[in-house]
A and B are shown apart, each in its own frame.
Chain A
Amino acid sequence: MNELPQQLVNGLLLGSMYGLVAIGYTMVYGIVQLINFAHGEIFMTGAFGALTVYMYILPDGTSMLIALPLMLLGAVIVSVIVAVGAERFAYRPLRGAPRLAPLITAIGLSLALQQAVWAWYPDAKSARPFPQIDGGPFHLGDVTIQTGDIFLLIAAPVSMALLGYFVMRTRTGRGMQATAQDPDTAKLMGVNTDRIIVIAFALGAVFAAVGGVAYGLKYGQIEFKMGFILGLKAFTAAVLGGIGNIYGAMIGGVVLGVAETLATAYIADIPGLDKFGSQSWADVWAFILLILVLLFRPQGLLGERVADRA
């Protein structure tokens, strides 16, 4: 049986998740040139927000059809509050400070958020099960798609299209583009840059929240440190796609996901490389790919469309 289509779908799903989180990195970087290392934790708090809605707010046994939109709403609310709070209290006081200061703050914030969830969320000291959508897997020829993955398959492109529309067509979106190009001039032109920056953080958080719910549905569990590795991968995806470019984040995510999956599946079949083919080597291959891309395109895959960065 040909396993390639299934592996491509596996990679596409993993990559879409990276992409959803990568958008937050890329938007914030595009506007304030800050690598928000706490973004992985915003993704994590979103997932816990969704779990809170399901476990503690909705009555037991609510159908997922009704619960899912509410969980998504809960995730978005929690993520946005955390992200906007982080911007207001951790990053805004440091605007204009040397670059390293907000970066270190971001790392500190990331640890603080992890530990806060660990310490205060009920039973969060080890992984908590996440509600699952019932219904068997779907078969398309050789490809099996899980019910939980359907959400990701729909949510990723839809939210991407909405974001594209928002940035390109709306007044606020154009304000974001202007701020990204030159914050000082944008301010002179009457753009409220503080507001734009808050919106960038909030939008990134919305995507992280969607990603958090997708993660829970896909893997059936969430934990306090799930954002750390995924955040690193998403950041990598953002760089791969061209940091600052929102489409690049999605493309970078998918390329990274597919690369990892294919490396796991096929590198071992290449004669002489059988020792380097297992999943524990997949990250190595993914980063070799990143280095190669950056060697030939230092601005990332879609990096040249500077006007689009927002």
Chain B
Amino acid sequence: MRQRSLIAITAALAAGALTLTACGSRDDDGGSDSGNGGGGTTVVIGVDAPLTGDLSALGLGIKNSADLAAKTANKEKTVDGITFKVEALDDQGQPSVGQQNASSFVANKDVLGVVGPLNSSVGESMQKVFDTAKLVEVSPANTGPSLTQGPDWRNKKVRQYKSYFRTATTDAIQGPFAAQYVYNDAKKKKVFVIDDKKTYGAGLAGTFTEEFKKLGGQVVGTEHINPDTKDFSSVATKVKNSGADVVYYGGEYPQAGPLSKQIKEAGAKIPLVGGDGIKDDTFIKLAGAASNGDLATSVGAPVETLPSAKKFVADYKTEGYKEDYAAYGGYSYDSAWAIIEAVKKVVADNGGKLPDDARAKVTEAMQNVSFDGVTGKVSFDEFGDATNKQLTVYSVEGGTFKAVKSGTYTG
């Protein structure tokens, strides 16, 4: 019997070890070497994004793009005597993991700024941790308005955290922008609104619905899906019977792909419209041929068409990253570059080296950062939001997203 229990413990340990090994290999992937640009001080730029799981296509794009910014800064010696290094942590798209990661970054004295996260819900869980440590955080992808302007942003905007900035446009603009396009340009009047109940999805669906109704459109049904499942057949049947001529989905591509496919299979040949969360080629892959004609709005002008982005796209290719830079590549590069610019300013003000309270100083400097980035002019308003409020509508044609219309929402 004694031996039995010994075997039992060994097996349990072995299983545990197996799991840990799997985690271990993931971490090796996560941290990346940004080259050692000769001596001096090393400043770590943290990256928090989902590097595993179904949102990893976006997350890995964020990581690689931030890494590219650090490498470029090292190569060009943007800040003399400072070597930038990127350290990436995986949040798996989960707020609880994100918060732990935030604490790890705070504990690492070399970290002077963090790029990320991808999900607004994760962002919510990280903000306070960073703010108490006065560690600056620049998100390339968070679009929830309340992150910067407070929960009551519709009536009274209040800056939440002094250390939080973002290069992405908020849903307060993205949702209505989509509504205007759907109503005025695509001429759809009856919408079925679906969301995944997450901070991002529900927020986007909310701002879309508000504007769509204001324009005179009709909401013929609403539904909240369970993001853990792939079976949306009963929702699809409801959509078909609702008589809607368009579906708006607030959420991300892992669910949007199958959802679009199943809605069309149910017999409703109507386009699905979503936000930047579905604007990834994986969406088209998952939805199949049925996705032709589906629409997505995304932040900024299309990266490929901007002259400022040509160098980014070329450099990204040269570095030979395995994964695509995806929807937020340009914004991630700009976010990391904003941190680099802020560090540069702080170092210059302090006679060429980092001051003792570098974190607080970097956070202060971030407010006034202004440079020409990949996605255009990068600077922040009094809430920490990007001043660049461009958005673009993309349509799926023949298996890729084609830019249809760029603009912004002015109310």
Contact = CB atoms under 8 A, between A and B. Distances in A.
B and A form one assembly: yes
A156 to B, nearest CB: 15
Given A94-B8, A129-B288, A112 B15 contact: yes
B286 A220 contact: yes
A225 B229 CA distance: 11
A118 B52 contact: yes
Interface residues of A, number: 51
* Pairs A-B, 6 closest by C-beta atoms: A108-B15, A115-B22, A278-B224, A10-B233, A97-B8, A112-B18
Given A126-B54, A129-B288, A283 B226 contact: yes
Interface centre among A108, A109, A260, A281 (most CB of B within 10 A): A108
27 contacts: A6-B237, A10-B231, A96-B4, A98-B8, A101-B12, A105-B15, A109-B15, A112-B18, A115-B22, A118-B22, A126-B53, A126-B54, A126-B56, A126-B254, A127-B54, A127-B282, A127-B285, A127-B286, A144-B266, A219-B231, A219-B258, A220-B286, A221-B257, A226-B230, A264-B235, A265-B238, A278-B224
Nearest to A232: B228
Contacts of B225: 278-280
A36 B315 CA distance: 49
A127 B254 contact: yes
A175 B288 CA distance: 47
Contacts of A94: 7-8, 11
Contacts of A219: 230-231, 258
B197 interface: yes
A116 B22 contact: yes
SS of A interface (majority): helix
A78 to B, nearest CB: 19
Interface centre among B12, B224, B266 (most CB of A within 10 A): B12
Interface string A266-282: 00000000000011111
Contact of A1 (B60, B229, B241, B257): B241
Interface residues of B, number: 50
Contacts of A280: 196-197, 224-226
Interface of B: 4-5, 7-9, 11-12, 15-16, 18-19, 22-23, 25-26, 52-54, 56-57, 60, 196-197, 222-226, 228-235, 237-238, 241, 254, 257-258, 261, 265-267, 282, 285-286, 288
Contacts of A144: 265-267
Contacts of B226: 279-280, 282-283
A93 B19 CA distance: 19
A137 B237 CA distance: 14
Given A10-B237, A225-B53, A111 B22 contact: yes
B23 A115 contact: yes
A97 B261 contact: no
Contacts of A279: 223-226, 229, 232, 234-235
Given A6-B237, A280-B224, A229 B229 contact: yes
Contacts of A302: none
Given A132-B288, A279-B226, A90 B265 contact: no
Contact of B57 (A3, A126, A137, A225): A126
A234 interface: no
Contacts of A96: 4
A104 B235 CA distance: 36
B19 A112 contact: yes
Contacts of B235: 264, 279
A32 B112 CA distance: 55
Contacts of B266: 6, 144
Interface in A9-65: 10-11, 13-14
Contacts of A13: 233
